[in-house]
């Protein structure tokens, strides 16, 4: 039996494997599913097993999983393709007889009513229909979605969003990775769904105020219509279909869809989630 992490060379996958190793899971008990071996040199150096497969190539997934494996299916990053990609992984996991299929979905699960959630809802349904023992790890928003892209904010001293006074209970990828690793290594998590989000929900006005405090500049939050934001993102070179998806997420934030603070994330991670101010400070350093 191995703990298997798919999408292991991505931002979240690498952090999950780091969290597993930090939890004293032996490296030879961890398998990393990667598409590109050349990008996995650090994983090889850590001693974990590499299993090469591609979400878009169902044949490549045959034999990737073993009976009794605990598998983390990290959702794909290509909107419009994910339902089929995830379905191929689910089929391979079922054929192998894995002991657990954990899936990184989206906060709210079947109740999430924004476009980005559509393929996550489909994936959860496919997992339920498969009959596999499952754990739904419904991730909220990553704080890095904002702090990794501070250059235009600082260049214009402006935070733009179409979220009104809505709030976001974000957390860092490392926070989510710690919770994901705890579910893969612990007991009592089968056939359960967790709503994972930060301990504190913040508004974009508060985000702008914290940026102002840490930079010593006056950075204002400007709320714009969703269509305006979509045009700004497209004009900045954000590839399709992401401008529309991101603008739609902002309208979901305005409706309170990403503001939940269930406490599941902190409980599973075994610590409080990382405060927004800390993530901003780390981003400004770099």
Phi-psi region of 270 (alpha: psi -120 to 50; beta: other; left: phi over 0): left
| 196 contacts 260 by C-beta, under 8 angstroms | no
For 194-221, write each residue's pLDDT tens digit: 999 999 999 999 999 999 999 999 999 9
Local confidence band at 183 (pLDDT 50, 70, 90 cut-offs): very high
For 1-18, write each residue's pLDDT tens digit: 899 999 999 999 999 999
Choose among 171, 203, 201: nearest CA to 268: 171
CB neighbours (10 Å) of residue 252? Answer: 22
For 156-179, write each residue's pLDDT tens digit: 999 999 999 999 999 999 999 999
* Mean pLDDT in residue range 36-56: 93
For 129-139, write each residue's pLDDT tens digit: 999 999 999 99
Specify the pLDDT at position 286. Answer: 85
Spell out the domains of the chain, with CATH numbers in brackets: 3-140+172-196+260-273 (3.40.50.720)
State how beta strands 167-168 and 202-203 pair. Answer: antiparallel
Residue 111 makes CB contacts below 8 A (sequence gap 6+) with none
- What is the percent of the chain where pLDDT is above 90? 97
Choose among 57, 48, 62: nearest CA to 13: 48
Choose among 252, 231, 276, 227: nearest CA to 164: 252
Sign for the CA dihedral angle at 248, 252, 207, 11 comes to negative
Residue 96 makes CB contacts below 8 A (sequence gap 6+) with 63, 64, 65, 66, 67, 69
CB neighbours (10 Å) of residue 77? Answer: 13
pTM: 0.97
Task: Report the C-alpha gap between 6 and 12 in whole angstroms.
Answer: 10
Task: Report the C-alpha gap between 22 and 70 in whole angstroms.
Answer: 18
| 37 contacts 50 by C-beta, under 8 angstroms | yes
């Amino acid at each position: 039996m191995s703990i298997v992490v798919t999408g292991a060379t991505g931002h979240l996958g690498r952090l999950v494997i780091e969290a597993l190793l930090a939890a004293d899971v032996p490296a030879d008990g961890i398998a990393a599913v990667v598409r590109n071996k050349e990008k996995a040199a650090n994983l090889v150096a850590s001693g974990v097993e590499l299993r090469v497969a591609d979400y878009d190539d169902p044949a490549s997934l045959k034999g990737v999983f073993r009976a009794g494996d605990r598998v983390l299916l990290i959702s794909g990053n290509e909107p419009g393709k994910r339902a089929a990609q995830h379905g191929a992984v689910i089929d391979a996991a079922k054929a192998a007889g894995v002991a657990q299929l954990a899936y990184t979905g989206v906060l709210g699960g079947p109740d999430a009513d924004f476009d980005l959630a559509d393929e996550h809802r489909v994936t959860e349904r496919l997992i339920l229909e498969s009959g596999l023992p499952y754990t739904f790890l419904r991730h909220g928003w990553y704080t890095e979605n904002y702090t990794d892209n501070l250059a235009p904010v600082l260049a214009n001293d402006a935070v733009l969003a179409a979220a009104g006074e809505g709030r976001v209970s974000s957390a860092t990828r490392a926070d989510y990775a710690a919770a994901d690793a705890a579910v893969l290594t612990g007991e009592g998590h089968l056939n359960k769904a967790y709503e994972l989000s930060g301990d504190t929900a913040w508004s974009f006005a508060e985000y702008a105020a914290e940026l102002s405090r840490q930079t010593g500049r006056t950075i204002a939050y400007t709320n714009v219509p969703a269509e305006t934001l979509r045009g700004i993102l497209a004009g900045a070179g954000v590839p399709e279909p992401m401008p529309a998806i991101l603008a739609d997420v902002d309208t979901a934030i305005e409706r309170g869809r990403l503001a939940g603070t269930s406490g599941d994330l902190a409980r599973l991670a075994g610590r409080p989630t990382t405060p927004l101010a800390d993530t901003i400070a780390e981003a400004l350093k770099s």
